[in-house]
Structure 1
Amino acid sequence: MESNVNNGLDIKLILNAVKRNFLKVLLFAVCVAIITFVIVSKMSPVYTAKATIHVESTESRALNFDPVYGADFSKREYFETQFAIIKSETLARNVIGTLSLWENEEFIISENEQSKLTFIYDLLGLPQLDASRDSQEIKMQRILKQFSDKLSVNSRRGTRLIEISFDSADPELAALVVNTITSTYQNSEISSKSEKVKEATDWLNNRLVTLRKALDESEIKLQEYLERENLIEIDGSVSLVSQNIASVSERLSKSQNEIARLRGIQSIINKYGQADILQLESIPEITSHPLIQNVKKDVIAVERKFSELTEVYGPKHPKLIAAQSELRAVRGNLEAQIKLLTSSVQKELSNEIENSEMLNQRLKSLKVEFQSTAKKETEYLQLKREVESNRKLYNAFVDRSKETTIAGDSHSSMIKVIDKAFVPTFPVKPKKKLIILASFVVSFCVGLGLIVLLAILNDTIKSSRDVENGLSQRMLGVIPLLDKNHVSDSHTFFNNDNKHFSESIRTFRTNLMLSHLDKANKLIEVTSSVPNEGKTTTSINLCFALSQMEKVVLIDADMRKPSVCRHFGIPQYHPGLANFIAGTASLEECLYLDEQSGVYIMPSGQIPPNPLELLAHNRFSELLSVLKQRFDRVVLDTAPTQAVSDSLMISKNMDIVIYVVKADDTRQQFVKRGLGRLLEVNANIAGIVLNQVDVNKTEQYGGYYDYYGYAEDKNS
């Protein structure tokens, strides 16, 4: 998986995995479809009956009366409330009771189900149910649950239409239940309105009695007050008295002004005396009197006439003499009027003072009368308002009572059935063909998905590309997977029936030698990440290939789990590496010659308790020095790097290290960890050998192995 993340998904790898497992996935999908077909064939058909109702936003009424129930039918909340009522348990109970559904086969509990319930009650330690009221209620709850599961109520978006549907194995029962639901819902809605109207009517009638009594009492109080105060009509009395007060106040003000004026004139006359006519004539208070002003006009007119005649006639002319006589007459009249005015001022002043006192007394009496009248009017108006209020309220209740009575006789409903439920002809489920097809498609997709997922999650080493890109190491060779008939034969390399195997070993040998032409590289370590990757088989066959050209010795340095003796039939007690280092056997005693291949073999010998300390001994280094002089190649089969540190200790004395990886089995993280441990001790890693490669997968892996045509040879 790490390689996939670093290098991106290998689409070709995934496609090859799908191609290789396509028939398996197809067979799996067919099997699932067959099983689904068997299951679906045993399922009973289900029929669905539907009805559509309309919840109106306004109520149809013959008369324009407001209803006594205060519901706003146009609001969304009212529509949602009706939606919930249809799905309510109360409505369901009414429908179940009307149709006696507890007697229907679909709702009758079978003996098998009854036995299951008995078992569950026994398991939970609950008392068994008997034919009591509690058991009947539990039965009803079970029927309600079944009924609710079969019922479906949906609204059409943007409309006030509600679709009611019911599923049943009996098409006639499905239609009957839906129609019963709609009729029961309509009847319950009408019944609810009737109950509200009846409650409102009863309440209005009771209130009318109380209001009528209150109205009569208020009328009696008003009449008694009018009789007690001897009032016939008090409306406007206060206004009339108020007008009289204003009028008298105005007259009193004028009288007081006149008194002030007369007193001013009187004080001037007293100051100058009545004899000084010329002085009195110059006083504005006197000259402003209307009578004096009229006389002065006559004097001025006569003086002007006299002045004009003087300019025309002489002093003794009759006209001038007549004008003088007229002038003296008007001036005498003016003096007489002034004297008359001065003598009458005192009399006018006395009369005006008397008039002012009368007006003042009249104003006081009117104020007292105003207060009394206002108090009576206030009390009267209070009693009158109470009468009018009681009468208005009583009349409103009388009108509303009549409207409610008339509305109660109307049985209009807000619910209108648009589409009635009819007996369905075809079942709606199970959709057998669709279910079978869906099971096939889903199982096929699941199978493909698993194949793709496994391919993506597979982060094992599968090809030279993984070795070079994922591990950043040289690819030395690819060893094919042997069939079971040749696995136990250690000398398969020499078998002509497995030429592809032998050729792969030779290719591995050639790559190894060509990659290190500048160095002898006599000491060769072969190791792996974990056990069972084929490092021993690789070591043996590498020695076989090298022995055709050079003198080779194979040392079994895996003293934890040695296996070289088993491959060559060498007894387990044969002296070997451990015996030589311990000094209990000579070099010649520890070597064994394989006659068929000509390879010398040094077994691990007696397994020591401390292999790591033994490998660190100086005699081990001395042994390697001796073998380098005696043999052209010294190959050591060592323990896996992830298990113990033996291979790390040995690698310090080696010229090169060959790392064996089992194809399509060992994960990259294990290989990287093992290589990392070797690199930490400065081991010279020659490259990677990809072992046990399945030739049939070379098309999937591509690259190195198929390049040499081994896949073609194997297939042929």
Structure 2
Amino acid sequence: MTNQNNQHLDLGDHEEEFNLNEHVQRYLRYWYLFPVFLFLALTAAFFYLQVTPPIYSTKTSILIKDENKGLSGTQGDILSELSSQFGGNKLVENELEIIRSQTLMEQVIKELNLDVSYKAKDGLKKISLYKTSPVIIKPEVITPLAYKEPLVIHLVDSTHFRFNDEDRVFAFNQRFNNAWGAFVVTKGVPSEYTDITVVFTEVKNLAEIMLKSLSVEQPNVKSTVLELTFEDSHVQRSKDVLNKLLDVYVQSSLSDKNSEASNTLKFIENRLGLITGELGDVEKDVESYKTNQGITDISAESQLFLENIKENDTKLNEVNTKISILESVDNYIQNAGEGAVAPATYMIDDPVLVSLLTKFNELELQRERYARTTSPNNPLLETINTQLAGTRQSIRENVQNLRRGMAVTKKNLEGINTRFSAGLRSIPKKEREFVGIKRQQSIKEELYLYLLQKREETALAYASTVTDSRLIDAPIATFNPIKPKKALVWLGAGVGGLVVPVLLINLLLLLNNTVQRREEIEKVTHSAILGEIGQMKAGQPGEDAIIKMTSRSAVAEQFRALRTNLQYLGDGTCRVIMFTSSIGGEGKSFVSINLAASLAYSDKRVLLIGLDLRKPTLHDRLMVPNKFGISNCLIGQGHYEDFIQSTGVHPKFDVLTSGPIPPNPSELLSNGKLPILLADLRQKYDYILIDSPPYGLVTDSALIAEHADATLYIVRFNYTIIDHLKRIGELQRTKRFTNLSIIFNGVNYGVGYGYGYGYGGYGYGYYDDENSGRSNVESKLKKMISKI
């Protein structure tokens, strides 16, 4: 992968061709990351599976009965008719939301005592001791601390235990008061666990958590079957939750259905009480009148009038009854929701009013149901309230119309009664009075029998009320856990262990702004690379920095190849060669020392001059004194022959160190004595190698390059900033350095190399910010990985 910083460089007009082998090699440089991260990922997956409790799925299904499809046969018709008197049509969608309501789940938690849970540590994970806990806590008062911190009970023996880290021992079946509240601890079932963690959870919060594990779905939109699924780490607890939830739902549904029947019974009982009293008074009047007047029979004419008046009074009584019912309906509608007794819809003849009252009762029940399970601002509840208001207005208008019609009928019947009464004037007074009393008795008897019949019908319907749902399948749990999926976890860990190193390597490559490939050097600088020097293992300064040229190591061979390539510099007669770089620490001294040693071993007289007058290091690396050197020659304090020293590496390898550090290196190099010195040295040595300061930091190298036959610019792998290559390209284009070539130092592509090179700590440091542009991201990441 090409470093992103290269996009801002002059890379030429053509795009670089994709090289698969090159990309693979760049990843292989960091091969150690793959086994490390794969091991870490698999280890994390192992511990995750150890600490994560398995989750099982439990399912059950119920049928919401469709009331439009009654049972066939007479018995089914009777049951359907009785049930339909006090129940409205149910919507499956509404029942789905009711089952998932917070209220029902809180009731389930309270009845199963799930707000107090017991756990024990089994290996690396904690398991639930639902119905298997050796201790049982019956809380009376729970403090806020109990909801934040669990209570740990340590069993001492079969009759004693301790709380948390306390030393005091307590006995079972005692009442305790502590920071967690007031409760009684009793013995549970025998268990192998002795350290029990008791967790207290608020019912409301636990209901919200459990509702997230509950799903209620309608598998087929054409059916009324609902499928309930609950996920839990304990199979028996999940079954109990579903069973209890269905029980609570059924009881809630039955309670709603029986509320209207109960109100109707109350209404009929009140009416029966009044009619019974009135009927008793009338019967006493008949008995008293017959006794006082001595009447035993009525004449045929009186009997005829009696029958006519009786029939007319019956109609009048029905009208009065209907008016009374309409008044009760109007009173119920006006005071609905404030404890008013619901009227009996079957005592009304008008089908429109019956339909409106049925609809009103259904809406009222739905409103009460949703008010218990939803918030006041729920859109569904607001819709029902709007429908209730509209239905109430329609009922009142219908009642007013019926009452006006009944008033006209009543007036007509009263007129007929007036005519019949006029006919009775011809009947003896006693007989006429008796007929009046008898008529009242007949009316009260018929009304009493009517209400008595309706009371029995209502009681029968109330007793025969059944739920609108039926259990299809009992809760069944899965045999294998659904979470976590072990195969998926292992696969994810394996993939993650391979993907993370790839991403990390890409991050390193993207954030690395140093030179990584020789192609980058060639493309930016348009200069030839005279040689490559592999990376060496880190060593101490001194002899360890000098390669044994008699060895057959790869680096030694590379220096021999570099020595051979010197004949291609210029016209092949370049004898004075300067070494420079962009910044310190790129290996100028290392390359110049070892190249000089290689030339000496090829029977060439070589002199290495340390012209880095600002921060010399040659004397430290060659372990020679630096009391006097070339700086003394340049200021006229002696002859160079007095300061040239043998390195001890080879008899033909001499060194002229920098000497004391002068206050004005640039002026010293430009005083005209350097070219004279080099001209004399050319007569005595085959090669003169000059270790100069970094060109990117000071101007000394530019002054020295004027007197050199060739310049070798050191670029260090994974150290030299890519932007510094622009400076080399500029030097190449302007021909400021004669016979400029590049040496790629410290190369480590990860494949075929791997010799290590330890000059990272011997940088120059001319300025505090000389390495400020170098990216430290890679080194920091490597340190982090090494710590892991």
Normalising TM by the smaller chain, what interval? Answer: 0.5 to 0.7
What's 1:124 paired with? Answer: none
Paired with 1:200 and 1:629, the residues of 2 have a C-alpha distance of 132
Classify 1:186/1:651 alpha carbon distance in 2 versus 1 (closer, same or farther; 3 Å).
farther
- Alignment of 1:659 onto 2:713: yes
Gap regions ≥5 residues in structure 1: 121-126, 233-400, 702-716
What's 2:501 paired with? Answer: 447
- Alignment of 1:100 onto 2:113: yes
Classify 1:68/1:495 alpha carbon distance in 2 versus 1 (closer, same or farther; 3 Å).
same
Paired with 1:208 and 1:116, the residues of 2 have a C-alpha distance of 52
Summarize deviations over 1:215-252 as a string: whole Å, max 9, x none. Answer: 67776679889999xxx9xxxxxxxxxxxxxxxxxxxx
What's 2:693 paired with? Answer: 639
The 5-angstrom pairing of residues 24-35 of structure 1 reads 25-26=34-35, 28-30=37-39, 32-34=41-43
- Alignment of 1:164 onto 2:177: no
SS at match of 2:475: coil
Q: 1:89 aligns with which of 102, 109, 114?
A: 102
Higher relative contact order (CA 8 A, sep 6+): 1
> CA contact under 8 A between 1:59 and 1:413: conserved in structure 2?
no
What's 2:329 paired with? Answer: 208
SS at match of 2:202: helix
Summarize deviations over 1:507-534 as a string: whole Å, max 9, x none. Answer: 212223224226x444422112332222
- Alignment of 1:582 onto 2:639: no
Give the CA deviation at 1:556.
Answer: 1.3
Paired with 1:407 and 1:641, the residues of 2 have a C-alpha distance of 107
What's 1:285 paired with? Answer: none
SS at match of 1:687: strand
> CA contact under 8 A between 1:118 and 1:128: conserved in structure 2?
no
> CA contact under 8 A between 1:544 and 1:597: conserved in structure 2?
no
SS at match of 2:615: coil
> CA contact under 8 A between 1:68 and 1:196: conserved in structure 2?
yes
Paired with 1:405 and 1:214, the residues of 2 have a C-alpha distance of 32
Summarize deviations over 1:371-424 as a string: whole Å, max 9, x none. Answer: xxxxxxxxxxxxxxxxxxxxxxxxxxxxxx999999877746554544331355
The 5-angstrom pairing of residues 370-519 of structure 1 reads 411=465, 415-422=469-476, 424-451=478-505, 454=508, 460-469=514-523, 471-483=525-537, 488-489=542-543, 492=546, 495-498=549-552, 500-517=554-571
The 5-angstrom pairing of residues 137-536 of structure 1 reads 139-154=202-217, 156=219, 162-195=226-259, 207-208=328-329, 411=465, 415-422=469-476, 424-451=478-505, 454=508, 460-469=514-523, 471-483=525-537, 488-489=542-543, 492=546, 495-498=549-552, 500-517=554-571, 520-536=573-589
Paired with 2:136 and 2:530, the residues of 1 have a C-alpha distance of 74
> CA contact under 8 A between 1:551 and 1:599: conserved in structure 2?
yes
Q: Which has the larger radius of gyration?
A: 1
> CA contact under 8 A between 2:115 and 2:201: conserved in structure 1?
no
- Alignment of 1:11 onto 2:25: no
Classify 1:543/1:143 alpha carbon distance in 2 versus 1 (closer, same or farther; 3 Å).
same
SS at match of 1:496: coil
What's 2:607 paired with? Answer: 553
Give the CA deviation at 1:92.
Answer: 0.7
Give the CA deviation at 1:693.
Answer: 3.3
The worse-fitting range, judged by mean Cα deviation, of 215-224 and 156-165 is 215-224
Give the CA deviation at 1:102.
Answer: 3.3
Give the CA deviation at 1:474.
Answer: 0.9
Paired with 2:687 and 2:237, the residues of 1 have a C-alpha distance of 93
Paired with 1:89 and 1:501, the residues of 2 have a C-alpha distance of 76
Give the CA deviation at 1:565.
Answer: 0.9
Give the CA deviation at 1:476.
Answer: 0.6
Paired with 2:81 and 2:737, the residues of 1 have a C-alpha distance of 107
Gap regions ≥5 residues in structure 2: 8-14, 71-79, 119-127, 138-143, 152-177, 184-198, 268-324, 332-395, 420-454, 756-788
What one-letter code is carried by the residue in structure 1 that aligns with 2:633?
F
What's 1:281 paired with? Answer: none
Classify 1:591/1:197 alpha carbon distance in 2 versus 1 (closer, same or farther; 3 Å).
farther
Give the CA deviation at 1:90.
Answer: 0.6
Q: CA RMSD in A?
A: 5.1
Paired with 1:206 and 1:642, the residues of 2 have a C-alpha distance of 107
Higher-strand-fraction structure: 2
Q: 1:117 aligns with which of 148, 172, 175?
A: 148
Paired with 1:672 and 1:100, the residues of 2 have a C-alpha distance of 76
> CA contact under 8 A between 1:661 and 1:691: conserved in structure 2?
yes
Paired with 1:222 and 1:39, the residues of 2 have a C-alpha distance of 85
What's 1:601 paired with? Answer: 655
Paired with 1:198 and 1:60, the residues of 2 have a C-alpha distance of 26
The 5-angstrom pairing of residues 556-705 of structure 1 reads 556-577=610-631, 579-594=632-647, 596-624=650-678, 626-628=680-682, 631-673=685-727, 675-676=729-730, 682-684=736-738, 686-694=740-748, 697-698=751-752
SS at match of 1:7: coil
What's 1:52 paired with? Answer: 61
Summarize deviations over 1:102-155 as a string: whole Å, max 9, x none. Answer: 3553589999x97893599xxxxxx976459xxx99632353355335434455
Classify 1:220/1:532 alpha carbon distance in 2 versus 1 (closer, same or farther; 3 Å).
closer
Paired with 2:537 and 2:62, the residues of 1 have a C-alpha distance of 76
> CA contact under 8 A between 1:481 and 1:695: conserved in structure 2?
no
Paired with 2:531 and 2:42, the residues of 1 have a C-alpha distance of 46
TM-score by length of 1: 0.59
What one-letter code is carried by the residue in structure 1 that aligns with 2:745?
N
> CA contact under 8 A between 1:2 and 1:668: conserved in structure 2?
no
What's 1:351 paired with? Answer: none
SS at match of 2:526: coil
Give the CA deviation at 1:88.
Answer: 2.3
Classify 1:214/1:684 alpha carbon distance in 2 versus 1 (closer, same or farther; 3 Å).
same
Give the CA deviation at 1:569.
Answer: 2.1
Summarize deviations over 1:293-348 as a string: whole Å, max 9, x none. Answer: xxxxxxxxxxxxxxxxxxxxxxxxxxxxxxxxxxxxxxxxxxxxxxxxxxxxxxxx
SS at match of 2:115: helix
Paired with 1:171 and 1:602, the residues of 2 have a C-alpha distance of 87
TM-score by length of 2: 0.54
Paired with 1:688 and 1:437, the residues of 2 have a C-alpha distance of 48
Summarize deviations over 1:627-669 as a string: whole Å, max 9, x none. Answer: 4566554322122234444334433544432111223443433
Summarize deviations over 1:583-613 as a string: whole Å, max 9, x none. Answer: 4444334433446242342212212344344
Classify 1:452/1:695 alpha carbon distance in 2 versus 1 (closer, same or farther; 3 Å).
closer
Classify 1:612/1:33 alpha carbon distance in 2 versus 1 (closer, same or farther; 3 Å).
same
> CA contact under 8 A between 1:486 and 1:492: conserved in structure 2?
no
> CA contact under 8 A between 2:29 and 2:750: conserved in structure 1?
no
Paired with 1:535 and 1:589, the residues of 2 have a C-alpha distance of 26
What's 1:249 paired with? Answer: none
Paired with 1:673 and 1:402, the residues of 2 have a C-alpha distance of 110
Paired with 2:536 and 2:726, the residues of 1 have a C-alpha distance of 26
> CA contact under 8 A between 1:506 and 1:545: conserved in structure 2?
yes
Paired with 2:258 and 2:200, the residues of 1 have a C-alpha distance of 30
Paired with 1:592 and 1:700, the residues of 2 have a C-alpha distance of 35
Classify 1:601/1:418 alpha carbon distance in 2 versus 1 (closer, same or farther; 3 Å).
same
Classify 1:685/1:529 alpha carbon distance in 2 versus 1 (closer, same or farther; 3 Å).
farther
Give the CA deviation at 1:49.
Answer: 1.4
Classify 1:472/1:534 alpha carbon distance in 2 versus 1 (closer, same or farther; 3 Å).
same
Classify 1:575/1:181 alpha carbon distance in 2 versus 1 (closer, same or farther; 3 Å).
same
Summarize deviations over 1:64-110 as a string: whole Å, max 9, x none. Answer: 9999988883xxxx72x544433322111111122232355358999
Classify 1:119/1:37 alpha carbon distance in 2 versus 1 (closer, same or farther; 3 Å).
closer
Give the CA deviation at 1:496.
Answer: 1.9
Give the CA deviation at 1:436.
Answer: 3.6
